[in-house]
Chain A
Amino acid sequence: MSILVGRETKLMVQGITGREGSFHALRCREYGANLVAGVTPGRGGQMFDGDVPVFNSVEQAVAETGADASLIFVPPPFAADAIVESADAGISVIACITEGIPVMDTVRVVRYLKGKATTLIGPNCPGVISPGESFKMGIMPGHIHLAGRMGVVSRSGTLTYEAVGQLTDLGIGQSTCVGIGGDPVNGSSFVDILRMFEDDPDTDGVVMIGEIGGSREQEAAEFIAQELTKPVAALIVGQSAPPGKRMGHAGAIITGSAGRASEKVKALDAAGVSIIPAPGEIGVTVQQMMSGR
């Protein structure tokens, strides 16, 4: 078991004929994901990797193949449209990898998704992987993962790989790893994903990786204190970043006191979270946290 996706998931890739889309569609397939369709407007009728049909629209792809998850590589100006097209066609899980989508586009998309049965992960994220299900929809290197019972949720890409690498090195496997994205507004928040891990019988604990900017880590702290029964270890990066400067991620900028790393650590600490003291200590902190139980 895992959250969001699994062995039964039928994966579709929007932007499958592009350079990144085709490269990663193949990697996902190699990892074991059931890739049933691709979508690129104007390329309908082609085949991808021999036997994966490409469609002009998500609607057609869903009707013909029963696709229920979509991985999006569409360029920024067209990405919002691609997300809404998928949601409109009834796709249940969307992971949008695209970086650089105008924030107001994401704001409108997230508003559109309210009350719909579609979960959006991202944008500007590495995607979702469930090693025990041999399923990945994302750009993370599959081989560093290990099947197991820790959930991972993060705003970052390569830092998530760093965390996973440290866990795997210590023999600590992962149930599902979710990158929620580095933009100021995301389809899914820490709280959304933590709730899913709480409800997942095959997840025993969670590693949460936050960073400077916004106050979504504080919301997570409140949720953890009030509702989460599983142990959480958290790392907040950007302790050494000055205010007012954007650290790569559009969302990683300290604009108010809540955005500071120290405020986030304080809130999580007060919620009983195991604070990971340094980026090199992710694995050992989780090991200690889980061995004490």
Chain B
Amino acid sequence: MKIHEYQAKGVFAKYGISVPRGRAAKTPDDAARIADELGGRAVVKAQVHAGGRGKAGGVRVVESAAEAAEAAEALIGSTLVTFQTGPEGVPIGSVLVEEVVDVETEMYVGMAIDGSAEGVVAIASAAGGMEIEQVAEQTPEKIISVAVDPVLGLQPFQGRKLAYGLGVADSLNRPVAALMSALYRLFEENDCSLVEINPLGVTADGRVLAMDAKIDMDDDAMFRHRDIAGMRDVSQEDALEVEASEFDINYVKLDGDVGCIVNGAGLAMATMDVTHAAGASPANFLDIGGGADEEKVAKALEIVLKDANVRRVLVNIFGGILRCDVAARGLVMASERMRGKMRPMVARMLGTNAEEGRETLANSGLDVVLVDDLNQAADAIRKAR
């Protein structure tokens, strides 16, 4: 789960990480009031769950409260398209109005779960303000990283290693090391999956400030962080993905025209790959998940068909806990509800009660081609237009 910059900065402040003064505003009046408190000059930043806001026109420096209101008026309620959002963009529901801080140096610090390190890895780079992926690919030597022992936490020597690696002035080594310790405590105590400060700014008078803030949470730990769970902003998520999540269906919207319905994440990715290799494009990733019944399967097909891009549907069920006959009845149930919206279907069923499942589909009157294996599925999807 992602949270907004202003929310992340609120969490930062609780851990003693300095951020520019400012607050979020939902209306132009609020924005004007906050700018006024800051002395008029301010930066107005669109709050969306996507990077690349600056280049997309989502960050504006204003010189007065009136200008702040104008900027907020233009941004709130509009849609921001950045290189991370896709052409449809994301709606701007609020802006962060902050003091303008002149920084001399911009750096990058971040933390993430790393499978190979079996824990959290802290990363720092003197190349702030840039996409860290780009830095990693072009100048990997500019990235310093340390793996944190979950028992000990981030140790002072590791904080110093990162600080020295960043090449900050001697007087800043301690504050930067302390900031990294605080960031790790924040990461661990809140079950984050990613935390980034990009850029981390240093001012002429030696203050270290988080100019931007990104926190992604571990969805699976939200049960013990009700406060943060309450920060979820579904307006930033795809509507179909939100609907699917309510039914505990793993659905990710993509931009092709083959709706995929599969049980199991690995098999779902494999099915997308098969679709792709057949010269078609998957409209979605969909894993029905464990413990599915007829209703859940029906819901899965309904969600897939609600995507207007879907022209054909590929079903791939390996029956185990989920029996094929149950899956088939769910599909037929949904097709009755979605009358008129049904699309040609290719179905492959294997494992528990596969025969019964295939029979149910064959006798349903649906436009369905039954196939035995993934290669046949690819052929059939190519023909189903």
Contacts and interface: CB of A to CB of B under 8 A. Distances in A.
B13 interface: no
A156 B264 contact: yes
Given A156-B267, A255-B112, A141 B319 contact: yes
A241 B287 CA distance: 14
A252 B269 contact: yes
Contacts of B120: 107
Given A141-B351, A256-B133, A182 B224 contact: no
Interface residues of A, number: 65
Interface stretch (A58-66, A193-201, A212-220): A212-220
A20 B291 CA distance: 9
Interface residues of B, number: 62
A167 B282 CA distance: 27
Interface in B329-385: 350-352, 373-375, 377-378
Given A237-B269, A257-B136, A111 B277 contact: no
B268 interface: yes
B265 A156 contact: yes
Nearest to A160: B266
B265 A248 contact: yes
B218 A215 contact: no
Contacts of B321: 20, 23, 139
Contacts of B151: 108, 111
Interface stretch (A43-51, A82-90, A94-102): A94-102
A278 B373 CA distance: 12
Nearest to A97: B290
Interface centre among A101, A186, A247 (most CB of B within 10 A): A247
Given A184-B113, A256-B136, A103 B220 contact: yes
B167 interface: no
B116 A215 contact: yes
Nearest to B84: A244
Contact of A104 (B188, B287, B378): B188
A279 B220 contact: no
B182 to A, nearest CB: 17
B223 A111 contact: no
Interface of B: 84, 112-116, 118-120, 133, 136-137, 149-151, 188, 191, 193-194, 218-221, 223-224, 250, 252, 254, 262-277, 281-282, 285, 287, 290-291, 318-321, 350-352, 373-375, 377-378
Q: 9 nearest interchain CB pairs?
A: A156-B266, A248-B265, A158-B264, A159-B266, A280-B374, A102-B221, A279-B270, A214-B115, A240-B276
23 contacts: A20-B321, A76-B223, A99-B290, A104-B188, A108-B151, A111-B149, A155-B266, A156-B265, A156-B266, A158-B267, A161-B318, A161-B320, A165-B350, A185-B115, A186-B115, A239-B276, A241-B272, A241-B285, A242-B254, A248-B269, A257-B137, A279-B270, A280-B375
